[in-house]
């Protein structure tokens, strides 16, 4: 049994992670400021032995006694991270400093949820960890991309300077139940639009690609990385390497929902990456991990979730 802090624990990925940690008998302190997360995501855990929920913003110091930290706090969808971009950078940078300071004091192991966005709009495809990326430092996505890049820098400097036990994972597009219905990400947008009988909004011509990982696969990888051998810090890519265009995704969603919605084309947001696909050779080798859930199966679960949310609130 470990005492585990999950920052951003009431969010989409964080709440699934809390579920798995509690199920395996860990003690969990879930910390969240509820900016994009919600109490309802962890309501079923409240009152369970070993689970605690604390409202706190990680840009402020936090003094708690834990052994392991999963640092997931940060809005992840463009709509949300661009709402208050300065706060987004603060969450990544001040938040990382505080959580690293905490890990240093308790001599605990700390994992950072970084992102494929550190590769920006990549010239190399698929993206291996050794690729340094092509990121605009002054655009509308920079608060997120550069904040996450700086957080990675901090993690590796705390490791070199203070011999901290750090783990960095770069998460590629992940989807599943408990995504925020209004977060603007493509999977939630398409499913919610299809269920409501609204037009599906394709940004650009829909030929841009993403690789979508189901949440259960991703959480399994987070746990394996946290439990991996000391000295393996990453960064390690986590995602599903099967790549789809947004048109292909729209088609699948319409078919699974059984919707007659039309596609409407809207302008592509600036700095929107053309392609994104993880090279997961390192995760396969070091974590003996690869995604198991096919897009169609994961989408079915996600559609069922949103059907319920739209019907019952």
Binding site for ligand UDP (CB under 6 A): 61-63, 77-78, 97-98, 101-102, 104-105, 173, 185-186, 189, 201-203, 208, 210, 246, 268-269, 272
Nearest CB to ligand UDP, comparing residues 44 and 160: 160
59 binds ligand NAD (CB under 6 A): yes
SS3 call for 98: helix
Cα angle 104, 108, 114; round to 5: 85
223 binds ligand NAD (CB under 6 A): no
Q: What does DSSP say about strands 165-171 and 209-211: parallel, antiparallel, or unpaired?
A: unpaired
Nearest CB to ligand UDP, comparing residues 19 and 172: 172
Catalytic residue status for 144: yes
Beta bridge partners of 210: 244
**φ, ψ at 245 (rounded to 5°):** -80, 160
CA-CA distance, 116 to 277, in Å (whole number)?
Answer: 9
Nearest CB to ligand UDP, comparing residues 186 and 282: 186
DSSP 198: P
Tokens at 192, concatenated: 């919610």
Tell which positions 106-125 bind ligand NAD, by CB under 6 A: 113, 115
Q: Which does 177 bind (CB under 5 to 8 A by kind): ligand UDP, ligand NAD, none?
A: none
Tell which positions 17-36 bind ligand NAD, by CB under 6 A: 32-36
Between the CA atoms of 115, 252, 14 and 237, what dihedral angle is there, to the nearest 10 degrees? -30
User: Residue 299: which of 251, 252, 244, 243 has the closest Cα?
Assistant: 252
Quick one: which of 26, 57, 129, 220 contacts ligand NAD (CB under 6 A)?
57
CA-CA distance, 200 to 282, in Å (whole number)?
Answer: 36
Nearest CB to ligand NAD, comparing residues 158 and 261: 158
- Tell me the catalytic residues: 144
List of residues contacting ligand NAD (CB under 6 A): 7-8, 10-14, 32-37, 57-59, 72-76, 91, 95, 113, 115, 171, 173-174
């Amino acid at each position: 049994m470990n005492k585990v802090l999950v920052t951003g624990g009431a969010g989409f990925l964080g709440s699934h992670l809390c579920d798995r940690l509690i199920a395996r008998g860990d003690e969990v302190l879930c910390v969240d400021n509820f900016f994009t997360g919600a109490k309802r995501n962890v309501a079923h855990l409240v009152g369970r032995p070993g689970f605690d929920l604390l409202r706190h913003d990680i840009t402020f110091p936090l003094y708690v006694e834990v052994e392991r930290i999963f640092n997931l706090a940060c809005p992840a969808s463009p709509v949300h991270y661009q709402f208050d971009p300065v706060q987004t950078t603060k969450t990544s940078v001040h938040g990382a400093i505080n959580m690293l300071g905490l890990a240093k004091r308790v001599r605990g192991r700390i994992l950072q949820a970084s992102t494929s966005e550190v590769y920006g709009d990549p010239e190399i495809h698929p993206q291996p960890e050794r690729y340094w990326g092509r990121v605009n430092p002054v655009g509308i996505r920079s608060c997120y991309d550069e904040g996450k890049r700086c957080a990675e820098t901090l993690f590796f400097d705390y490791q070199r300077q203070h011999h901290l036990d750090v783990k960095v994972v770069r998460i590629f597009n992940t989807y599943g139940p408990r995504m925020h219905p209004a977060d603007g990400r493509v999977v939630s947008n398409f499913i919610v639009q299809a269920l409501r009988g609204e037009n599906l909004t394709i940004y650009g011509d829909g030929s841009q690609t993403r690789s979508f990982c189901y949440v259960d696969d991703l959480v399994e990888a987070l746990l394996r990385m946290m439990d991996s051998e000391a000295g393996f810090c990453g960064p390690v890519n986590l995602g599903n390497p099967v790549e789809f265009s947004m048109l292909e995704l729209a088609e699948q969603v319409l078919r699974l929902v059984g919707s007659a919605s039309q596609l409407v084309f809207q302008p592509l947001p600036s700095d929107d990456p053309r392609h994104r696909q993880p090279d997961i050779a390192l995760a396969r080798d070091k974590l003996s991990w690869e995604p198991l859930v096919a897009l169609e199966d994961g989408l079915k679960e996600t559609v069922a979730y949103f059907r319920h949310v739209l019907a019952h609130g």
